[in-house]
Structure 1
């Protein structure tokens, strides 16, 4: 069994320190304990991302983020009972406590990230790449060389390491270059099929071209992103939220170059000099459950924001998943240059 003791973290540690521990350990969660190893709470990747959405600082004490009442097992229970608790609560890890609430073991359902997933991944790779001209005059944007190979190949490899092997590529501009390189995907250890946008369909409209509605949640991603997102955590987050659709988001900062004035009627109340504004923005990665297809019009232009607006109007559960991993949208020449500069460090 993996060394569960590496998941223990003391109550005085910060959110950032806990993030690092979770990313470094194979069990993908942390157990918060006091100086006597008494269980205080647990922290999952989902807990961390929800804290980020609430605007929590990376320096906050982990006690502000942890689940103080996690589901636990006891030493008096059998292994079969522990597994039953895990399955009935849809958990992957179960802390086992003994006398005085001390943590003495962790039982887990080990979903190996290398195991093949049934979920389909739809990659949107039909764009013109106008802002990257002249680089895209003769080649589609996803085939631009980043780190010595096509960006699209790195994207597929990123999914493959988490067990995703069923791909559909939505193609249009210079589609032959993509199809000739990847073909059916066999050379890359995956399965690839294609749908063609004969007209502009938008980031969600192409979903109506799929030959059949998937039976499992599918991931949809723009084909111009360089990212190291954990797709397992993304899918688990989507399922745990009981969402019809999940949008990945990034925190975007910008500084207002002026002093911002606040008033109460005609009275000046404060001046904030060149404040920094923070907002979450669409990161171009989505998880969609099969029910979402009822909201997508047939064979017409339809963007992902339009789809999420429809879900919101219909009072359906649409979730947001904050990306805390490396992410870069290669939409401009300077982004392409930055991607090549950072590739070796990120993907060595």
Structure 2
């Protein structure tokens, strides 16, 4: 998301530079911006093409000091700001570069529109659990595997792969069991969809984590895992970055679920009434069925044995390895029942195949 190979360093100039220095720097760096620092290496401000032109129109010459053309109110962002938020700031402020600074206002990077508006290519694998029988979704799943059930004219699994592809993921592994041959026939090696697809074939159901024990070779970098029946606008790339930033063994995307009690609640202590609460709302985090795992977490699985994802998390916690929750706010829908399928049709269809509000 920031300029590659520290290229942004080429755009740094000291406070005592001249307009000639700025023009030469822009021609050399191709960044279309100069980052001005003081003697303490703190960001003093920025200079753009427009700042130079305005300075020349005011009577400055190319040997004039840059002091009067520095834009000192430059918008900056911290290193942990999400790609989505940086994009929003760029659009709202009509700018194409935003410096990244640390707590001491020292420059540590530079976001460029041309780079951040194009998702980075992700070498990380994405495993999709697509082996369930989908018994709650019958009769739709009697002769069709659940991940191939159409949503707005396209299989759920295809929506997931296309969504992840937009995030830069191209290496997919599908864990299959029930009517798995139909999934293989539809996706093949993935070339028809511009991605690579391999398969984990379960001889018997292995749960939401057990199939990962069949991964060969084991990944050498963190990988994303998602259930094959989750329709969501989650940013898989942001989830992966969150996992890496928190140095976790396992990360679980969680969503806030609210439930309102249908009755007024009476609070008591013994037989004494201590208070009332009219139809209180309970809030809790629910498992959204999307995860990131570090390769070492696979050591907690035994090849070919049943294991669900919460059990894997518990095993990691028992070894005092870090497991973290990624709070998601994006539209999300677990397509488990026929009425969920109807909701998914309405959520996806209005945006012509792009997932919409699945809440």
Matched with 1:177 is: 182
8 Å CA contact 1:250, 1:283 repeated in 2: yes
Listed as ranges, the matches of 1:172-321 within 5 Å are 172-321=177-326
CA distance in 1, matches of 2:77, 2:197: 43
Q: Are 2:81 and 1:44 equivalent residues in the alignment?
A: yes
Residues 340 and 314 from structure 1, CA distance in 2 versus in 1: closer, same or farther, beyond 3 angstroms?
Answer: same
Q: Deviations over 1:116-141 (max 9, x none)?
A: 21101100001001001111111001
Q: Quick one: distance in 1 between partners of 2:350 and 2:248?
A: 35
Structure 1 residues 240-299: Cα deviation after superposition (integer angstroms, max 9, x where no partner): 111010000111111112222223454322111211111000000000001101111222
Partners of 2:161 and 2:113 in 1: how far apart?
29
Which residue does the alignment assign to 1:327?
332
Provide the residue aligned with 2:63 in structure 1.
none
Say if 2:103 is the partner of 1:71.
yes
Deviations 1:56-102 (A, max 9, x none): xxxxxxxxxxxxx943545xxxxxxx4xx34xxxxxx5xxxxxxxxx
Residues of 2 paired with 1:317 and 1:214: CA distance? 19
Segment drifting more, 231-240 vs 106-115: 106-115
Q: CA deviation at 1:341?
A: 1.3
Distance 2:304 2:121 in 1: 31
- The one of 106, 115, 125 aligned to 1:120: 125
Task: Tell me the distance in 1 between the aligned counterparts of 2:115 and 2:205.
Answer: 43
Report the counterpart of residue 144 of structure 1 in structure 2: 149
CA displacement 1:293-329 (0-9 Å, x = unmatched) = 1111222110000011111121111010011111111
| Number of the residue aligned with 1:21 | none
Question: How far does the alpha carbon of each residue in 1:12-31 deviate from its partner, in whole angstroms, 9 at most, with x for none?
Answer: xxxxxxxxxxxxxxxxxxxx
Structure 1 alignment gaps of length 5 or more: 4-35, 49-68, 75-81, 87-92, 94-105
TM-score under structure 2 length normalisation = 0.69
**Structure 2 residue runs without a partner (length 5+):** 1-30, 34-71, 86-100, 355-359
* Runs of 4+, deviation exceeding 4 Å: 36-43, 106-113
Return the alpha-carbon distance in structure 2 between the equivalents of residues 111 and 293 of structure 1: 32
Question: TM-score by structure 1 length?
Answer: 0.71
3-state SS of 1:117 partner: coil
Query: What is the alpha-carbon distance in structure 1 between the residues aligned to residue 252 and residue 209 of structure 2?
Result: 12
Max radius of gyration: which structure? 2
CA RMSD of the aligned region, Å? 2.8
Change (3 A) 1:329 1:2: farther
**Residue equivalent to 1:22:** none
CA distance in 1, matches of 2:159, 2:104: 40
Q: Which residue of 1 aligns with 2:164?
A: 159
Aligned length: 269
Q: For the Cα contact (< 8 Å) 1:171–1:196, is it kept in 2?
A: yes
Q: Secondary structure at the match of 1:214?
A: coil
Q: Residue 124 of structure 2: SS of its match in structure 1?
A: strand
Q: 1:223: how far off?
A: 0.2
Q: 1:72 to 1:236 in 2, by over 3 A?
A: farther
2:18 corresponds in structure 1 to none
Q: Indicate how the Cα distance of structure 1 residues 209 and 240 shifts in structure 2: closer, same or farther if over 3 A, else same.
A: same
Q: Deviations over 1:224-255 (max 9, x none)?
A: 01111111211111111110100001111111
Q: Is the contact between residue 131 and residue 205 of structure 2 (CA under 8 Å) also seen in structure 1?
A: no
Counterpart secondary structure, 2:305: coil
